[in-house]
Structure 1
Amino acid sequence: MNDPHSPHPAPVHLPPGEDHDDEMIGTLLSRRHALRLLGLGGGAAALTAGGVLAQRGAGGTSAGSGAARLPGCVVRPAMTEGPYFVDGEPRRSDLRKDSQTGRLSPGVPLKLVFVTSRVAAGGCTPRAGVLVDVWHCDALGTYSGVAGNSGDALRGSQVTDAQGRASFTTIYPGWYPGRAVHIHFKLRPLNAAGQATGEFTSQLFFPESVNAAVFARAPYSQKGKADTPNAQDAIYRNGGSQLLLSVKGDPVGGYTATFDVGLNLG
């Protein structure tokens, strides 16, 4: 059984026939490793080639024993992009409309805000110039632009502003067999010439209580009950709890969620 706190988790093996967009990559760092990477433990270490993905906590510092404490940053896991990523997605904040047909994807509204920061020993500061790609399935579990599907609905990208923010208006994603409800994202810092200097890819997940409330409504309800809760998802079990969104709202008026991350790449 995998230990999610191990710096070298065992690879994920999916059942035959499950293509799944994903399997775990990278590592989950222990607290001791995170302290070393941030220069707060015994002997600072260089950042890994893959960078460090972290969350900025509202309290400024995280609880812990000893003199060295994380400056409000918790290391996050990376996950593969899967087969449904399309590079060069349109730069836009509203992902609901297919730019080719003008058709809006039906579903419960979701506003998703990324806030990117640079992590240092003293804390986290806003990081501008990070290209944020987002892509996910529609209310019935289908991705646009791949596997014979046309269009570019529920796909898009933005560059973070001076406050490190990039906001997307989309819909709550549906589900498809073998996977928990999720949204894919990719972060790529850009240099002055607009070229990516690195990338970090992972996924966001949702509380089961919110999934149930959303899927009881049309058009989600026509697909039936989701077959894979978070606890049974092979990807979620390898660190998904660190990527679980805290959403506010309801299935009538829609939801909002902010994902606050620190990125030391590029």
Structure 2
Amino acid sequence: MNNFFSVAGKIAVVTGGSSGIGAMIARGFVENGVKTYITSRKLEQLQHTADELSALGECIAIQSDLSTMAGVDAFADEMLKRESKIDILINNAGAVWGAPIEDFPESGWDKVMDLNVKSIFFLSKRLLPALREAGETDEPSRIVNIASVNGITHPHMNNYSYSASKAAVIQLTRHMAADLRPSNVNINGIAPGFFPSKMTKHVMEHEQKFSNNLPARRIGELADVAGTAIYLCSRASNYVCGHTVVLDGGQVANAG
């Protein structure tokens, strides 16, 4: 039973890794001995996060724009130039759009779907050779797709494309896992509730009120999401396949 939760020595890619949940996962990896590549669109913030994490271990920043196929291909090409084997891919990059249903624009729908769903599928596809090269029968490589509780229950917000995209991520996780696990690539997901991020800034202004309505009586913290990601990328979860872990302090359980 020794080292069941160890990820030391692995190579990971974390998209949307400059802030929020992505940065939390990246930090957990770096502190536990994972060579971690982070990517996002804004170079200054990305490099700042990489510099901070590099004080704890090995973290490398590569700028990308995964909202377009050209951006997905460019990032994948750069990663495959640098690494022939990739143990872990965390598909976390995402966008949100809010508007009343009567005013919801096609551009807001397409922007969210392209980044939140399309990029997950095509980046995973492009990095499959390196993931398969790293995977073994008793130690498969990992893909972890970041979904959301908004893809499971009514969000009570006007983020229609976001909630639809996250429901799609949960189904895509199941579908890809069933097809790819025989080739030593294991896929699961995480559906976070409220964690501090740019996307949840409007809720964080009322953090105490929101926390009081959660069974856990608090919002998510770094250890919660980093620990869950480490579990899903370690030997301890080898037999967990195609599932999305709800990480929400009881929000979904408490939904009426």
**TM score, norm. by length of structure 2:** 0.30
**TM score, norm. by length of structure 1:** 0.29
User: Quick check: which has more Rg, 1 or 2?
Assistant: 1
Identify, as 1 or 2, the structure richer in strand: 1
Identify, as 1 or 2, the structure richer in helix: 2
